[in-house]
Structure 1
Amino acid sequence: MERFGLSPLIFFTLLSLYVALVLPLPFFAPQELRPLTIGILLLGFLLILGLLSEKVETDADGLRVRYPPWISWLFRRSWFMAWSDVRALVPVGTSQGGTVYYLKATGCRHQLLPQRIARFDRFLDVLRERTLVSTKGIGRLTPPWTYQVLAVLAILMIVGELATGVAIAEGLIT
């Protein structure tokens, strides 16, 4: 069995973006609502962490996409497809100009091909070996540079927010 998690670059970028967007909120909340705000933001962080913890598993029987037990009760999007059921990869254009692929199976079942996972090339090799469908020309959904730019911007936002918080605490700005 091989397991594929979300790409670390994407994982870090999306968590950083969440932190950058919500970090200042408790400071803007009225004093009496700050504990509630912090609690809700921590709950949101756990939900984002849960969404990003999806795993893709391959074994001799097929392909399984699922969440870990601590969050799977909430995200019921887990699925399994036997290798023998896979008939084709169907490309579908996105509104942003990219291409996603659906695994077409026997009957009318289609599942979205995971394209944001670590070791994506290895995953495509396993898919090609087990199903004999062509994976030629299939790439990641978005190029890595887009996540790198977003990660840098999120980190800059966090640094700016922390610097502003320190400056306010020290009375340098009001």
Structure 2
Amino acid sequence: MSSAPSAANSAPNSSLDIFHISPLIRITLVSLYGALTLPLPFLAAATQAPVPPWLLTLGIALGAVALHGALSQQVILDQEGIEVTYPQWMRWLLRTQWRLSWNQIQALKPRTTGQGGLVYYFVGSDQQAYLLPMRVAGFARLVGIVQSRTGIDTQDVRPLAQPWMYGILLLFTLFLLLIDGWTIWTAVQLG
């Protein structure tokens, strides 16, 4: 029994390729957000903080929705160009979406980040810089398609963070969640 390949796994000559944020990155960041925020309403109740626990819970829930929206970024490559977009319900908030046709892309330039990493920007015919999304699943395939469509050498382009970095962050986040469990249990016992 064979199944049809997904759009992200189809051949570079297909009409549409869609890349999403890597699942490892999504799971790690959502877990970290939860680990950093979940104990707050319990601690607010246990310490009788001036901010009511329900308000903290509401803020955390809204933050989780915003984080989910930010991590729902899509990179769409088709015959005409490349587009970075978000789901319709998130587009009004995140104005960082853009689209370039293949013939508008003049160069791919590296820039050093404040932390010493390296990110890449497309330089369009309008001389504006457009950030190349580097946290997508299938990044090597994405830059391969960019090279085949534009003729720009992408051989040295590497993701900003390697998967092992997010693996380590996820491991420490799991330890933090264990400590959170103890913190919540203690706060409930005191409350």
For 2:135, the equivalent position in structure 1 comes to 116
Distance 1:55 1:64 in 2: 8
Task: Report Cα offsets for 1:116-165 as digits up to 9, x if no partner.
Answer: 11100110111011111000111010122211111111111112211343
For 2:18, the equivalent position in structure 1 comes to 3
Distance 1:133 1:121 in 2: 14
Distance 1:50 1:153 in 2: 24
Over the aligned positions, Cα root-mean-square deviation in angstroms equals 1.7
% identical aligned pairs: 37
Task: Report Cα offsets for 1:71-116 as digits up to 9, x if no partner.
Answer: 1111121100000111111111122221111101112121011111
Task: Report Cα offsets for 1:41-84 as digits up to 9, x if no partner.
Answer: 10011011111111100000100001001111111211000001
For 2:31, the equivalent position in structure 1 comes to 16
Task: Report Cα offsets for 1:13-55 as digits up to 9, x if no partner.
Answer: 1111100100110012246711111111100110111111111
For 1:27, the equivalent position in structure 2 comes to 42
Q: Normalising to structure 2: TM-score of the pair?
A: 0.84
SS of residue matched to 1:29: helix
Structure 1 stretches of at least 4 aligned residues deviating more than 2 Å after TM superposition? 163-169
TM-aligned CA deviation for residue 167 of structure 1 = 5.2
2:112 to 75, 87, 93: 93
5+ residue gaps, structure 1: none
| 8 Å contact from structure 2 (residues 43, 184) kept in 1 | no
Counterparts of residues 144-163 of structure 1 (less than 5 Å): 144-163=163-182
Distance 1:115 1:95 in 2: 16
Distance 2:53 2:117 in 1: 41
SS of residue matched to 2:136: coil
2:90 to 61, 65, 71: 71
5+ residue gaps, structure 2: 1-15
For 1:52, the equivalent position in structure 2 comes to 71
Q: Normalising to structure 1: TM-score of the pair?
A: 0.92
SS of residue matched to 1:97: coil
Letter of the 1:115 counterpart:
M
| 8 Å contact from structure 2 (residues 28, 169) kept in 1 | yes
**Residues 168 and 73 (structure 1), Cα distance of their counterparts in 2 relative to 1, 3 Å cut:** closer
